[in-house]
Chains A and B, each alone.
Chain A
């Protein structure tokens, strides 16, 4: 009896602790929301954490109409969408070759690919710019999509490889006995099996390309191709900036990320759990 009570008390303490921590983790979203409804005098004045005195929904109106956010938003959707789709296909193929197929140098290849994660992105800016200019890709969606894919691949391949290694081989063996070739096997058997990992790769690729700023600023000169982060940053003035409107822009940019995550989080869980054993 006594033990049961202490046990319950303990679990209560644990929950209180977890709830506090959960609150801390969600607070940035809440903070961004109230930030987006303020003006400079509140943001830089005394009222930085409290609710705004006047709820300035006008900030959203400005962000939407003056800063052309809708157009940039669609561009971001397009760029990020294609980036995710191509990254998924390309990395799943390579991960399959690395984790399942039989050839020498698989380990080494994987290690070399993972080195891609170590490049400090700012140093790659000029070389990439030169490559894109020589290939006449500057000022197109491709000038963003291709580098995003290239820099997203190491992580994606890593996640897929560890997930595939955890999958049982029976399905493929059965398919092989039925006379299924390698390409059909990959598309019809393997790809459906790795769905949870697809979610994980999608969300990571989404986060990095959706929020990317430096490439997006540098590789694009035409308003028609600009992405959302660039659009929001263009509200930062050289000498004067209305931060509340930027907050509204950031809120508009953040909501899809959160929705995307909430939709995929269950699958992300599954894939990480499945891929976990092999590490």
Chain B
């Protein structure tokens, strides 16, 4: 028996070593694409648009058939998973060398950048057509370019706005704010009228990040932010401390819902849509919730640029957002040319059809696109974007993944009045310089 057991043991050991050695060795080999003898090509794409509330879901699903009709030799296989699970899945697949030909990636330092640095993704400059590039709106390729190489194409873009429930504002006799003082005044009046002035879901930590992103853009200006990303020691300076103070000023003025620390993003957006608060600072992807048929606030919401701060270096035409998550091509894809062609087709389609259906703001030339389906809120938000002179992406797109987590954690502590503005900025100054500035 002993002998048998030893043999079995040795066999298992050998088996396990082969597996783990193979795993530790080259982690990139085959990617999902395959070509049959008769020139049939299969391209795999992973994305995170799975819910019926997301217009992109239908665009991608339809594109599978449409594209096959246009290019009979190409079959697209799509797979969608949402949110947190998508991140886990795509990261695992890349780590194991099993990533699809084309994958949806969240842009910026905390997600796609490490993959670009490790050469897991394909620069598309050599494949993309001039025509396509010409129909992208000016500036929209910036977010797709890393180290002067183009990696993806934009689809639609998102912009953070301050959403105001006009009915509540009128009822409280408050003015839609354009300056910080007016904002504080509105908060007082809304509070007095028994409304929660602003809703914040800080359980997920990133909604609070959007607040500090924009407030510091108002105090330091986008130019000042860019400087600090390149040299984080600048975070420990007056404009950033002031921004932190302003944020705490809002907290102390009773601007936010009392349960913000336990409120999730979903509860925040649905809460605003259900009329639980007068203001929400979020990106325009919240429109479907606000405009849902059964939403009590449908038609009562107006969006504006975040108020300016006196003596701050930022202006009302500077925005948070403008980033474009996109679809990236695996460096091991066997048919880069075909994959890029599909990427062009899909990105443009999402850009135009998605814009039409209110999925986001356009990155592509939309002349000739029928925009009659846009709601007043969509149009209002698109109008704001036209006034924009400069955009800074969400900070978790700019900072590295580790620093993004640190930033969001610090911010939760700042909003929870656990640390002082000085402590906050002191810790921020210890981040690593961003790769992008």
Query: Which residues in A have some Cβ–Cβ distance to B below 8 Å?
Result: 39-41, 43-45, 62, 66, 103-104, 125-127, 129-131, 133-135, 138, 213-214, 217-218, 221-223, 230, 233-243
Q: Is the CB of B79 within 8 A of A240?
A: no
Chain A proximity mask over B73-109: 1 for CB below 8 Å, otherwise 0 = 0000101111101001100110111101000000000
Q: Which residues of A contact B83 (CB under 8 A)?
A: 236, 238
Q: How far is the CA of A184 from the CA of B227 in the complex (A)?
A: 79
* A–B Cβ pairs within 8 angstroms, 22 of them: A41-B270, A45-B276, A125-B88, A127-B23, A130-B19, A130-B23, A130-B96, A133-B96, A134-B23, A213-B85, A214-B88, A217-B88, A218-B85, A218-B92, A222-B79, A234-B51, A237-B50, A237-B52, A238-B54, A239-B286, A240-B51, A240-B285
| CB of B304 closer than 8 Å to a CB of A | no
Is the CB–CB distance between B267 and A44 below 8 Å?
A: yes
Residues of chain A within 8 A of B93, CB atoms compared: 129, 218
Bound CA span A82–B289, Å: 41
Q: Which residue of A lies closest to B285 (CB)?
A: A239
The answer to whether A234 and B81 touch across the interface, beta carbons within 8 angstroms, is: yes
A242, B81: Cβ atoms under 8 Å? no
With a CB–CB cut-off of 8 A, which chain B residues contact A43?
Answer: 270
Q: How far is the CB of B158 from chain A (nearest CB, A)?
A: 9
Q: In the bound complex, do residue B285 and residue A41 qualify as a contact, i.e. CB atoms below 8 Å apart?
A: no
Contact with A along B38-51 (1 / 0, CB 8 A): 00000010101111
Taking a contact as CB atoms closer than 8 A, the residue among B79, B82, B276, B289 that contacts A221 in the complex is: B79
Complex-state Cα separation, A61 to B270, whole angstroms: 22
Q: Report B253-278 CB contacts with A as 1/0, cut-off 8 Å.
A: 00000000000001101110111100
B296 within 8 A of A: yes
In chain A, what residue has the closest Cβ to B22?
Answer: A134
In the complex, how many angstroms separate the beta carbon of A93 from the nearest chain B beta carbon?
A: 15
Task: Look across to chain B and name the residue whose beta carbon is closest to the beta carbon of A105.
Answer: B5
Residues of A contacting B70 in the complex (Cβ-Cβ under 8 angstroms): none
Q: Which residues of A contact B98 (CB under 8 A)?
A: 129, 133, 138
Assess whether A103 is in contact with B294, with CB atoms less than 8 Å apart: no
Q: Is B292 engaged at the interface, CB distance under 8 Å to the other chain?
A: yes
Closest A residue, CB atoms, query B97: A133
For A66, the closest partner residue in chain B by CB is B52
- The one of B89, B286, B294 that contacts A217, using a Cβ cutoff of 8 Å: B89
CA distance A217 to B89 in the complex (A): 7
User: At the interface, yes or no: B288 with Cβ under 8 Å from chain A?
Assistant: yes
Residue of A nearest to B104 (CB): A238
Closest 10 pairs between A and B when the two form their complex, measured CB to CB: A237-B51, A239-B285, A44-B270, A234-B50, A240-B53, A221-B79, A130-B23, A237-B53, A240-B288, A45-B274
A175 to B428 CA separation, bound complex (whole angstroms): 76
B191 at the interface (CB under 8 A from A): no
Inter-chain CA distance A135–B23, complex, in Å, is 11
Interface size class of B (residues with CB under 8 A): 35 or more
Name the distance in Å between A276's Cβ and chain B's nearest Cβ. 32
Complex formed: what's the CA distance from A212 to B180 in Å? 49
Interface centre among A40, A221, A237, A239 (most CB of B within 10 A): A239
Which chain A residue lies CB-closest to B98?
A133
Interface-centre pick from A125, A129, A130, A214 (highest chain B CB count, 10 A): A130
Cα distance A239–B201 in the bound complex, in angstroms: 13
Residues of A within 8 A of B271 (CB): 44
Measured between beta carbons, the chain A residues less than 8 angstroms from B369 are none
Instruction: Please indicate the chain B residues that have their CB under 8 angstroms from the CB of A131 in the complex.
Output: 19, 23
User: Among A45, A62, A66, A240, which residue has its beta carbon within 8 angstroms of that of B54?
Assistant: A240
Is the CB–CB distance between B23 and A240 below 8 Å? no
| Chain A residues near B85 (CB-CB < 8 A) | 213-214, 217-218, 233
- The residue from B50, B80, B273 contacting A41, defined by CB atoms under 8 A apart: B273
Residues of B close to A103: CB separation below 8 A: 1
Residues of A within 8 A of B88 (CB): 125, 214, 217-218
Residue numbers in B under 8 Å from A230 (CB-CB): 81
B295 within 8 A of A: yes
Query: Which residues of B lie under 8 Å from residue A45 when comparing CB positions?
Result: 274-276
A130 to B374, CA, bound (A): 46
Closest approach, in angstroms, between the C-beta of A253 and any C-beta of chain B? 16
Q: Which residues of B contact A223 (CB under 8 A)?
A: 79
- Taking the closest CB of chain A, its distance from the CB of B168, in whole angstroms, is 15
Q: Which residue of A lies closest to B291 (CB)?
A: A240
Chain B min CB distance to A215 (Å): 10
- In the bound complex, how far is the Cα of B45 from the Cα of A221, in angstroms? 10
Are B294 and A41 closer than 8 Å at their CB atoms?
yes
Q: In the complex the two chains form, what is the Cα distance from A237 to B88 in whole Å?
A: 16
Smallest CB gap from A246: residue in B = B51
Within 8 A of A (CB), among B280-303: 285-286, 288-289, 292, 294-296
Are A126 and B95 CB-contacts (below 8 A) given A221-B79, A237-B51, A239-B286?
yes
Contact among A40, A41, A134, A214 for B19, CB-based, below 8 A: A134
Name the CB-closest residue of B to A56.
B294
CA distance A132 to B1 in the complex (A): 31
Say yes or no: B89 contacts A218, CB within 8 Å: yes
CA distance A133 to B80 in the complex (A): 19
| Bound Cα distance A234, B86 (Å) | 10
* Complex alpha-carbon distance, A41 and B289, angstroms: 10
